[in-house]
């Protein structure tokens, strides 16, 4: 479970402090698929970054399964992220000189797994996202949708409980966006991943179980919506331990 | 690629300049501790009477004595410079066992007063061989001086000077009398004093000099190494300038490389932030930049160090007999590699530190 208690965050811009989040409290149950919506500057990406442990609040608590990640030091936080969070970015953030296989294998460098186990996991992850035939392709040799699928495989490879996605379809065409959102739904439904997604697109948000609106750094409203019918085939859980 | 090439050129330039400096000191490096040089106390340009020889021999601790006189002749063209000495042949060759002659060459040299021995470098530079006639035009001792090559000596070590010519002092002395050159009669430039115990060099030097104190020809005796270093000291400003330039070259490439690494790190800020987001530590990310910088520096330095050998050989050949010894010292190669490593480390230091401290959220915005 993710629990934010009275979280505030402000940034310094041009010598002045600009409040981004103000006394925000939010609870996200394990296995939820939450969409964060709101206008630019509303603080939705900041909220996502705080939950993902790549930014720190000025005040308040961020409890993930009872542990306050805001109190962890840099090393502890890095280890926590490596074990518990998978990242999906708007612009994929793949390493351009590495192949799809190597990009997906990257987070496994921080584990003690044997090489054979690492290889099996990477192959399964890329098979799961439908890119088993693109192992040796570098990001520049892949389409945007394919790159985002590699990013999803990378996010899954360490079997994290939480997946954070910041505008995952913001740079994709309609069909690719549809495929990616279907994939995220599958991860949530079939594998029980807790997914937090920031999006501007109401159609993309409809793929989530719950939508939360932010306005000027505070929650505007929270509403649970019905899980829509699957738009793609369910994710196949392979032999790998995801 | 350009930075790699820059490093290669900088390492090569450093290696060549260091080798030039080493070549300057080659005479001193090859000097023996068991040899003292006695010269006129006023200046090397003033000769000493040959009669000094008998008195020096009497000094306790002196094992043998020879002498040599700078001739300063021109072979065909003034640009064909190489040192020429009129020597006391037998004792001189005994004093310098590092000059290797065959027994036949040695015998032929000793029995003919017009004979000369030349070093291998001179023979190769001017295409001379045993039996060739050779004429030097005297500058200190006017007129043409006819010789015949009796032998070509090799160096015992690569650092041995093989760009010298030796001929009989007796021949110079006789010709000086015949040509009526009073300054050159029964005189020599330096005495080479061999001592049995190098540790007593200072004491014996003082004893030799005390023999001629308050005479018309006072002497100054010092070790051969100090004597050679005295020559280097005359041109020390040039040597220091070359040394400074060689280190300035390294400083310049350090700045270029630091700029390259800073630009690389800036371009990849997003990648480093992504790695940190995935759980890689700041130290790991800093290590990536350092490793890249070191790899570039090591490969550039290694290529530069390797290419120094053929380039130095070609440079040495082109210089002819100006640099009698032009060998890339092992120490120079080590310095090249060490400096390349230092360049790599220094160039990476600031970019690595910056990237390790960058906030992930800010880094991700750089995409």
Measure CB to CB from residue B279 to each of A89, A95, A107 and give the nearest one.
A107
Average pLDDT over residues A145-163: 92
For chain B, give every domain's residue range.
Answer: 2-24+236-365, 42-217
Measure CB to CB from residue B367 to each of A82, A91, A106 and give the nearest one.
A91
Contact yes or no for A54 and B277 at CB 8 A? yes
Q: If you measure CA to CA, which chain B residue comes closest to A53?
A: B277
Average pLDDT over residues A225-230: 45
A226 band by pLDDT with thresholds 50, 70 and 90: very low
Given a cut of 70, is residue A223 above it in pLDDT? no
Q: If you measure CA to CA, which chain A residue comes closest to B360?
A: A54
Interface test with B, best of A43, A45, A78 (most B CBs within 10 A): A78
Q: Is the Cβ–Cβ distance between B188 and B47 less than 8 Å?
A: yes
Best CA proximity match to B199, nearest among B36, B26, B38? B36
Which pLDDT value is given to residue A238? 45
Given a cut of 50, is residue B219 above it in pLDDT? yes
Instruction: Provide CATH code, domain A30-53+85-224.
Output: 3.40.50.300
Chain B residues close to A55, C-beta within 8 Å: 359-361
Q: Read off the pLDDT of residues A52-108 as tens digits, 9 standing for 90 and up.
A: 999 999 999 999 998 999 999 988 999 999 999 999 988 889 999 999 999 999 999
Given a cut of 70, is residue A176 above it in pLDDT? yes
B239 band by pLDDT with thresholds 50, 70 and 90: confident
Contact yes or no for B279 and A79 at CB 8 A? yes
Given a cut of 70, is residue A39 above it in pLDDT? yes
Q: Which residues contact B146 (CB under 8 A, 6 or more apart)?
A: B114, B133, B134, B135
Given a cut of 50, is residue A155 above it in pLDDT? yes
E strand map for chain A: 2-13, 16-28, 33-37, 59-64, 67-68, 85-88, 162-166, 194-198, 210-215, 218-224
For chain A, give every domain's residue range.
Answer: 30-53+85-224
Contact yes or no for B367 and A52 at CB 8 A? no
| Residue B246, both tokens | 């060689």
B106 band by pLDDT with thresholds 50, 70 and 90: very high
Q: If you measure CA to CA, which chain B residue comes closest to A81?
A: B279
Average pLDDT over residues B354-366: 86
Which pLDDT value is given to residue A219? 85
Which pLDDT value is given to residue B30? 67
Lowest mean pLDDT among A215-224, B124-133, B232-241, B251-260: A215-224
Q: How far apart are CA B137 and CA B139, in angstroms?
A: 7
* Phi, psi (degrees; rounded to nearest 5) at B112: -120, 120
Given a cut of 50, is residue A241 above it in pLDDT? no
If residue B131 lies in a helix (H) or strand (E), which one and from where to where? none
Residues of B near A (Cβ–Cβ under 8 Å) read 270-271, 274-282, 359-361, 364, 367
Which residues are bridge partners to A27 per DSSP? A3
B58 band by pLDDT with thresholds 50, 70 and 90: very high
Given a cut of 60, is residue B242 above it in pLDDT? yes
Best CA proximity match to B320, nearest among B79, B156, B151, B70? B79
Measure CB to CB from residue A81 to each of B271, B279, B359 and give the nearest one.
B279
**Count of all residues that appear for chain B in the document:** 367
Contact yes or no for B277 and A81 at CB 8 A? yes
Lowest mean pLDDT among A15-24, A225-234, B223-232, B352-361: A225-234
Q: Read off the pLDDT of residues A204-214 as tens digits, 9 standing for 90 and up.
A: 999 999 999 99
Contact yes or no for A78 and B276 at CB 8 A? yes
C-alpha distances in Å from residue A81, one per residue of A52, A74, A93, A155, B284:
7, 10, 16, 11, 15
Q: Which residues contact B165 (CB under 8 A, 6 or more apart)?
A: B82, B83, B84, B85, B116, B117, B118, B119, B122
Best CA proximity match to A162, nearest among A242, A81, A66, A85? A85
B84 band by pLDDT with thresholds 50, 70 and 90: very high
Mean pLDDT, rounded, of chain A: 87
Residue A82, min C-alpha distance to chain B (Å): 4
Given a cut of 80, is residue B25 above it in pLDDT? no
Average pLDDT over residues B189-206: 92
B362 band by pLDDT with thresholds 50, 70 and 90: confident
Q: Which residues contact B240 (CB under 8 A, 6 or more apart)?
A: none
C-alpha distances in Å from residue B327, one per residue of A3, B15, B179:
73, 11, 42
Lowest mean pLDDT among A194-198, A215-219, B181-185, B336-340: B181-185
Q: If you measure CA to CA, which chain B residue comes closest to A96?
A: B271
Which pLDDT value is given to residue A12? 84
Which pLDDT value is given to residue A15? 83
Lowest mean pLDDT among A208-222, B89-103, B167-181: A208-222
Mean pLDDT, rounded, of chain B: 89
Which pLDDT value is given to residue B321? 66
Which pLDDT value is given to residue B27? 66
Chain A residues close to B280, C-beta within 8 Å: 78, 82, 109-110
């Amino acid at each position: 479970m993710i629990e934010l208690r009275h979280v505030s965050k402000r940034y310094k811009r041009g010598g002045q402090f600009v409040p981004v989040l103000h006394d925000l409290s939010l609870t996200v149950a394990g296995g939820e698929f939450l969409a964060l919506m709101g206008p630019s500057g509303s603080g939705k990406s900041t909220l996502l970054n705080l939950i993902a442990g790549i930014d720190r609040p000025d005040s308040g608590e961020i409890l993930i399964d009872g542990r306050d990640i805001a109190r962890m030091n840099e090393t502890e936080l890095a280890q926590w992220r490596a074990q518990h969070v998978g990242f999906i970015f708007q612009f994929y953030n793949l390493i351009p000189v590495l192949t799809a296989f190597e990009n997906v294998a990257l987070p496994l460098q921080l584990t003690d797994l044997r090489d054979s186990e690492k290889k099996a996991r990477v192959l399964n992850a890329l098979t799961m996202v439908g890119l088993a035939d693109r192992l040796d392709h570098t990001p520049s040799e892949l389409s945007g949708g394919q790159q985002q699928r590699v990013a999803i495989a990378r996010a899954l490879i360490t079997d994290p409980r939480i997946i954070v996605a910041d505008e995952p379809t913001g740079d994709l065409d309609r069909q690719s966006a549809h495929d990616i959102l279907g994939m995220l739904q599958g991860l949530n439904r079939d594998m029980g991943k807790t997914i937090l997604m920031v999006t501007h697109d109401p159609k993309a948000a409809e793929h989530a179980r719950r939508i939360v609106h932010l306005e000027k750094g505070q929650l505007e409203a929270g509403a649970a919506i019905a899980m829509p019918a699957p738009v793609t085939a369910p994710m196949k859980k392979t032999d790998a331990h995801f | 690629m350009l930075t790699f090439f820059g490093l290669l050129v900088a390492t090569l330039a450093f290696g060549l300049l260091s080798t030039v400096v080493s070549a300057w000191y080659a005479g001193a490096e090859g000097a023996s501790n068991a040899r003292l040089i006695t010269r006129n106390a006023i200046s090397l340009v003033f000769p000493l009477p040959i009669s000094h020889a008998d008195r020096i021999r009497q000094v306790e601790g002196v094992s043998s004595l020879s002498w040599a006189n700078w001739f300063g002749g021109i072979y065909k063209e003034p640009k064909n410079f190489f040192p020429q000495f009129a020597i006391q042949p037998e004792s001189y060759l005994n004093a310098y066992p590092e000059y290797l002659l065959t027994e036949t060459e040695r015998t032929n040299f000793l029995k003919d007063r017009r004979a000369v021995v030349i070093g291998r470098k001179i023979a190769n530079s001017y295409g001379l061989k045993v039996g060739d006639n050779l004429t030097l035009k005297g500058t200190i001792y006017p007129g043409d001086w006819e010789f015949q090559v009796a032998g070509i000596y090799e160096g015992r070590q690569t650092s041995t000077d093989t760009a010298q010519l030796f001929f009989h002092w007796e021949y110079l002395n006789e010709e000086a009398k015949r040509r009526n050159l009073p300054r050159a009669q029964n005189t020599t430039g330096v005495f080479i004093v061999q001592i049995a115990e190098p540790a007593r060099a200072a004491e014996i030097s003082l004893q030799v000099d005390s023999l001629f104190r308050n005479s018309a020809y006072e002497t100054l005796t010092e070790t051969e190494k100090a004597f050679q270093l005295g020559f280097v000291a005359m041109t020390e400003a040039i040597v220091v300038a070359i040394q400074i330039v060689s280190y300035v070259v390294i400083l310049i490439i350090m700045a270029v490389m630091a700029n390259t690494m800073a630009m690389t790190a800036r371009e990849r800020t997003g990648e480093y932030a992504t790695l940190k987001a995935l759980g890689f530590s700041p130290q790991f990310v800093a290590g990536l930049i350092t490793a890249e910088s070191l790899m570039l520096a090591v490969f550039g330095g290694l290529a530069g160090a390797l290419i120094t050998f053929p380039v130095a050989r070609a440079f040495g050949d082109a210089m002819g007999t100006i640099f009698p010894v032009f060998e890339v010292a092992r120490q120079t190669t080590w310095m090249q590699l060490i400096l390349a490593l230092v360049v790599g480390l220094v160039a990476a230091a600031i970019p690595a530190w910056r990237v390790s401290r960058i906030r992930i959220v800010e880094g991700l915005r750089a995409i």
